[in-house]
Chains A and B, each alone.
Chain A
Amino acid sequence: MSRLGALLRREIVLAWGRGGGPLVSVGFYAGVATLLPLATGPEPARLAAIAPGAAWVALALASLLSLDRLFERDFEDGALDLLTLSPVPLELACAAKCLGQWIATGAPLALAAPLAAIGLGAKPDLAPLIFVCALLGGLAFAFTGGIGAALSLGARRGGLLTAVIVLPLFVAPVIFGGGALDSFANGLPWRPGFALLGAYAASAVALGPLAMAAACRNALS
């Protein structure tokens, strides 16, 4: 098995090993989605109008939950030191860690997203698009979130700092993804928003690891 494959597997196993971290994220997601109708009032017409957008924002928040331990754990126990002593560039190691985060946490959240949206009153024919958007958005959340997690290494209350750094980076995917869902629900062209979401995810995958590796090196030195 290749080094990166082994690292990816280790990340996924560790994510699920920590008291079922991804399940906690899904639970948090369900909680936020349940709170919304309590705050906005339960009229079906109003809920159905905001359901896709609300499900989408809750997804962004739930993606934040497990980010703070993405690099912190390896930083504290010395694994990050050892990850640098390898022919594998640190950039690729960071990418493998984020990919593991996406598979372990992003995918279960993407599965929960259509359920939450339909529960809030979205039309069932939206479900496939919500799932694909959540999957793609999850990729963007994992790779931009990794930048925040790496930048806040070594800071006290790093988790909170991660959220503050990362939330502005989540603006674009929230706009594009929410816009695509809204357009689809109203019978308008949804492909441009979807394409922009994909472009944002692709650039996060390409550029995020460079920033993460630089931030990790800075934290180690």
Chain B
Amino acid sequence: MITKLKLEDLAVRRGGRMLFEGLSLDLAAGEAAALVGRNGAGKTSLLRAIAGLVGLESGTIGFGGAEAAAARADHVHFVGHLDGLKTARTAREELDFWTLWLGGTEAAAREAAQALELVPLLDLEVRRLSAGQRRRLAMSRLLAAPRALWLLDEPMSPLDSTWRERFGAMMAAHLAGGGMIVAAVHDPLPIPARILEIGA
């Protein structure tokens, strides 16, 4: 379990353009950060950099003493626009596979499906799900495989108002349990969060 996320003097360059420089953030267990900024400012790139998918131009990312590769392997969730779901497979197959891959149990997957009201959808192919249902299926991984740090890329965008509220409660419960959240958002998060402006 990691209990800290420390970004120090981060700079990320994409396609020859410096997206941001000198970015720092210190997040402790139970805290959330909201990344704001215009389109293309580098919010997604910062999330991908924390997940270890994008290289840094300079700066360091610390996970409270844990080795970065080990921390990412076991303690980091990444839910973005691309949800990794195969349209030809059923929701159940996809939930079960990703739960196993990310280190969750079958029982936890069942519970997550119930919490996100996915049970009646589980036998449908992913291609039959609406955008909001697909996002809920992707979010079910967050509950099915407990990991400390959630990296969320505009998690609310395809959700209706009921589910935005419920997802807010889900995030609050995660923080109350000692988790951390870094989310790229356009609308304010429904939980208390540090605002970090990117590319200002």
Contact = CB atoms under 8 A, between A and B. Distances in A.
A83 B78 CA distance: 11
B199 interface: no
Contact of A86 (B73, B81, B93): B73
Contacts of A17: 88-89
A177 to B, nearest CB: 34
B72 A85 contact: yes
B88 A14 contact: yes
B144 to A, nearest CB: 13
A85 B68 CA distance: 11
A157 interface: no
Given A81-B53, A85-B77, A6 B86 contact: no
A84 B84 contact: no
Interface string A12-41: 011001100000000000000000000000
A3 interface: yes
Main secondary structure of the interface of A (DSSP, over half): helix
B83 interface: yes
A104 B84 CA distance: 21
B73 A85 contact: yes
Contact of B102 (A76, A77, A80, A86): A86
Interface string B73-105: 110111011111110110001000110111100
A38 B76 CA distance: 58
Interface in B37-94: 48, 51-55, 72-74, 76-78, 80-86, 88-89, 93
B158 to A, nearest CB: 15
Interface residues of B, number: 28
A82 B84 contact: yes
A81 B51 contact: yes
Contacts of A82: 78, 84, 98, 101-102
Contacts of A191: none
Contacts of B88: 14, 17-18
A92 interface: no
Contacts of B98: 82
A81 B72 contact: no
A192 B91 CA distance: 50
Contacts of A10: 89, 93, 97
Given A14-B89, A76-B82, A81-B82, 4 more contacts: A7-B97, A17-B89, A74-B84, A79-B85
- The 7 A-B pairs with the shortest beta carbon distances in the complex, nearest first, are A78-B82, A79-B84, A78-B84, A87-B73, A82-B84, A17-B88, A220-B53
Interface of A: 1, 3, 6-7, 10, 13-14, 17-18, 73-74, 76-88, 220-221
Interface of B: 48, 51-55, 72-74, 76-78, 80-86, 88-89, 93, 97-98, 100-103
25 contacts: A3-B101, A7-B97, A10-B89, A10-B93, A17-B88, A17-B89, A73-B86, A77-B83, A77-B86, A78-B81, A78-B82, A81-B48, A81-B51, A81-B53, A81-B82, A81-B84, A82-B98, A82-B101, A82-B102, A84-B52, A85-B77, A85-B78, A85-B102, A87-B74, A87-B103
